[in-house]
């Protein structure tokens, strides 16, 4: 009975992990360029040489990410033993992954930033501040809309929900 329960729980965790990691979850974003890339090209008036250098940096980054994807995939079975789950090891491994990911992102950002001229760097900083301000306003607007919907008992069709 215990063996059956362990197999069932492990199966559920594995299926959940596969569903979460599936590229289908991000299908809507596949053909969209990141905001910073669009901003760089359109608003900073990059030279052809800068565009080429940034494209090379991005391509190298993409190849590195793809090569590391299989190596960094979490194998949940390695955290299970008998009737226990090694939570501390799982957290340690996930934090190490995030640290590596963050370090790579910072390295690539620095490489791209160093391609810019001093004037472009100043304009880029201004654009990033504007972007952050706009994001903050959107988050506040969404937050207040969500609170209003919850207080009014509205569903997604803006109709009053019947009492339970």
CB count within 10 Å of CB 40 equals: 23
d(CA 18, CA 8): 15
State mean pLDDT over 119-136: 89
* pLDDT over 80 (residue 21): no
Q: Which secondary structure element, helix H or strand E, spans residue 65, and what is its range?
A: helix 48-72
Closest residue by Cα to residue 47 from 117, 108, 124? 117
For 45-74, the pLDDT digits (tens) are: 899 999 999 999 999 999 988 887 777 666
* Residue 81: strand, helix, or coil: strand
**Phi-psi category of 131—alpha, beta or left, where left has phi over 0 and alpha has psi -120 to 50?**
alpha
* Amino acid 122: pLDDT: 92
Q: What is the pTM of this model?
A: 0.57
- Any idea which of 26-40, 50-64, 77-91, 118-132 has the lowest mean pLDDT? 26-40
Q: Which secondary structure element, helix H or strand E, spans residue 80, and what is its range?
A: strand 80-81
Which tokens in the block code for residue 30? 């596949």
Residue 113's contacts (CB-CB under 8 Å, 6 or more residues apart) are 121, 124
Q: What angle do CA 15, 17, 73 make, to 5 degrees?
A: 130
Work out the pLDDT band at 153, boundaries 50, 70, 90: low
* Amino acid 23: pLDDT: 45
State mean pLDDT over 115-120: 93
Question: Residues 116, 41: contact at Cβ < 8 Å?
Answer: no
> What domains can be seen in the chain, in order of their start residue?
36-71+87-137 (1.20.120)
């Amino acid at each position: 009975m215990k063996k059956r329960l362990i197999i069932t729980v492990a199966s559920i965790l594995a299926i959940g992990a596969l569903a979460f990691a599936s590229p289908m979850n991000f299908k809507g974003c596949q053909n969209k360029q990141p905001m910073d890339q669009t901003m760089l090209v359109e608003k900073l008036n990059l030279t052809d040489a800068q565009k080429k250098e940034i494209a090379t940096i991005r391509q190298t980054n993409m190849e590195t990410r793809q090569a590391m994807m299989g190596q960094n995939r979490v194998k949940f079975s390695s955290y299970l033993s008998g009737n226990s789950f090694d939570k501390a090891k799982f957290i340690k491994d996930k934090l190490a992954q995030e640290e590596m990911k963050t370090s790579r992102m910072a390295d690539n950002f620095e490489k791209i930033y160093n391609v810019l001229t001093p004037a472009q760097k100043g304009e880029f900083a201004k654009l990033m501040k504007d972007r952050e301000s706009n994001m903050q306003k959107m988050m506040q607007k969404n937050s207040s809309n969500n609170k209003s919907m919850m207080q009014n008992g509205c569903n997604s069709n803006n109709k009053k929900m019947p009492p339970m």
